[in-house]
Amino acid sequence: MRPRRVCSALLLATSMFAAVPALAQPAAPTPAPAQAQQERKRFDIPAGPASAALNRFSSQAGVEIVYPFDAVASHSVGAVSGTMTAREALGRLLQTLPLGIASDNGRMITLRARQTAAVGATATPVSQTEIVVTGPRSALDRAIEAERGADNLTNVVSAEDVGQFADQNVAESLQRLPGVTVGRSEGEGRSVSVRGLPSQFTAVTIDGVRLGTSNGDTASVSLDSVSGEQLQQIEITKSVLPSQDADTIGGAINLRTLSAFTGRENMQIRVDGYYGEVVDKLGEQVSANLTRRFFEDRLGLGVSLAYSRRPIQGTEIEGDAGLDGVVALEGDGPEYLRHNEVIQVTETGERTRWNASANLEFRPSEGAELFLRGTYSRLRDDDLSFQDIWVIENSEDDKILEVRPGGGLFDDVENERRMFFQNITDQIASLSTGGSLSIGGWDLGVQGDWSLSRFSNPNALRGRFRAEELLVDLDSDRDGFNLTPAVGDDGDGGDPFDPGSYQFNQLLYVQEQRRDEIWGARLDLGRDAGFLGANGRIDLGARARWRTKSNDREEFTGNPRNFGVRRTMEDTDLFDIAGPGYAGFFPTADAGYALFLEARDALLATNPAYQREDLSASGDYSVGEDVFAGYAQLTISQTDRLRIVTGLRVEQTRSDSQGYFTEFDGSGRGPDGVANSGEIRDLGTVSNEYTNWFPGLHLRWEPADDVVVRGSWNRGIQRPDFNDRVNRMRVQFATDDPDNRDLFAGNPYLDPLTADSFDFSAAWYPNRGTALQAAMFFKRIDNFFFDFSGDGSDLSLLPLRLPDGVGTDFESIETTLNGETAKVFGVELSWTQAYADLPGILSGLFTQTNVTWADSESTANVRAGEVFALPGQRDLVGNASLGWEDDGLSLRVSANYRGKALVVLAGNVEEDVFDRPTVQVDFNLRYDLTDSLRLYFDAANLNNARDIEYYRGESGGLFYTNAAFGRTFKLGLRAQF
What is the average pLDDT across 81-103?
79
Question: Residue 103: pLDDT above 80?
Answer: no
Judge whether 219 lies within some domain.
Answer: no
- Kindly report, residue by residue over 527-541, the tens digit of the pLDDT: 888 766 677 889 999
More confidently predicted of 544 and 531:
544
Residue where a domain stops, chosen among 75, 104, 132:
132
Q: Strands 336-339, 323-326: parallel, antiparallel or unpaired by DSSP?
A: antiparallel
- CATH number of the domain that 500 lies in? 2.40.170.20
Task: Grade residue 31 by pLDDT with cuts at 50, 70 and 90.
Answer: very low
Q: Which residues pair with 513 in a beta bridge?
A: 456, 552
Task: Grade residue 55 by pLDDT with cuts at 50, 70 and 90.
Answer: confident
HSE (CB half, 13 Å, CA atoms) of 677? 7
Predicted pLDDT of residue 626: 95
d(Cα 730, Cα 658) in Å, to the nearest integer? 14
Amino acid present at 789: S
Question: Residue 656: pLDDT above 90?
Answer: yes
Q: Which range, of 476-485, 547-556, 860-869, averages the lowest pLDDT?
A: 860-869
pTM of the model: 0.78
Task: Grade residue 392 by pLDDT with cuts at 50, 70 and 90.
Answer: very high
Angle of CA points 847, 851, 856, to nearest 5°: 175
Predicted pLDDT of residue 36: 43
What is the average pLDDT across 405-419?
92
Q: Are 400 and 328 in contact (CB under 8 A)?
A: yes
Judge whether 869 lies within some domain.
Answer: yes
Q: Which range, of 75-79, 762-766, 867-871, 888-892, averages the lowest pLDDT?
A: 75-79
Judge whether 211 lies within some domain.
Answer: no
Question: Residue 23: pLDDT above 50?
Answer: no
Q: Are 797 and 729 in contact (CB under 8 A)?
A: no
Q: Which range, of 7-11, 165-169, 310-314, 750-754, averages the lowest pLDDT?
A: 7-11
Q: Which domain holds residue 518?
A: 266-563+583-976
Predicted pLDDT of residue 793: 83
Residue where a domain stops, chosen among 85, 103, 132:
132
- Kindly report, residue by residue over 366-378, the tens digit of the pLDDT: 788 999 999 999 9
d(Cα 364, Cα 639) in Å, to the nearest integer? 35
- Kindly report, residue by residue over 784-799, the tens digit of the pLDDT: 888 887 888 888 888 8
Task: Grade residue 594 by pLDDT with cuts at 50, 70 and 90.
Answer: very high
Judge whether 176 lies within some domain.
Answer: no
| Helices H / strands E in the chain, number of each | 10, 51
Question: Residue 132: pLDDT above 60?
Answer: no
Beta strands in 501-533 (DSSP E): 503-531
Question: Residue 304: pLDDT above 50?
Answer: yes
- Kindly report, residue by residue over 821-842, the tens digit of the pLDDT: 888 899 999 998 888 888 888 8
Question: Residue 752: pLDDT above 80?
Answer: yes
Judge whether 29 lies within some domain.
Answer: no
Judge whether 5 lies within some domain.
Answer: no
Predicted pLDDT of residue 688: 92
Q: Are 883 and 849 in contact (CB under 8 A)?
A: no
Residue where a domain stops, chosen among 132, 158, 183:
132
Number of domains forming the structure of the chain: 2
Angle of CA points 918, 173, 167, to nearest 5°: 75
Nearest partner of 747 among 826, 813, 792, judged by Cα: 813
Predicted pLDDT of residue 104: 67
Write the Ramachandran bin of 207: left for phi over 0, alpha for psi from -120 to 50, otherwise beta: left
Judge whether 239 lies within some domain.
Answer: no
| Burial tier of 756 (Cβ tally within 10 Å: 0-12, 13-18, 19+) | middle
Predicted pLDDT of residue 863: 75
Predicted pLDDT of residue 64: 67
- Kindly report, residue by residue over 288-302, the tens digit of the pLDDT: 989 999 988 889 999
Q: How high does pLDDT run on average in the chain? A: 82
Task: Grade residue 332 by pLDDT with cuts at 50, 70 and 90.
Answer: low
- CATH number of the domain that 69 lies in? 3.55.50.30
Judge whether 154 lies within some domain.
Answer: no
What is the average pLDDT across 609-635?
89
What is the average pLDDT across 563-588?
85
Predicted pLDDT of residue 133: 35
Write the DSSP symbol of residue 896.
E
Q: Which range, of 67-81, 389-403, 503-517, averages the lowest pLDDT?
A: 67-81
Predicted pLDDT of residue 350: 92
Task: Grade residue 146 by pLDDT with cuts at 50, 70 and 90.
Answer: low
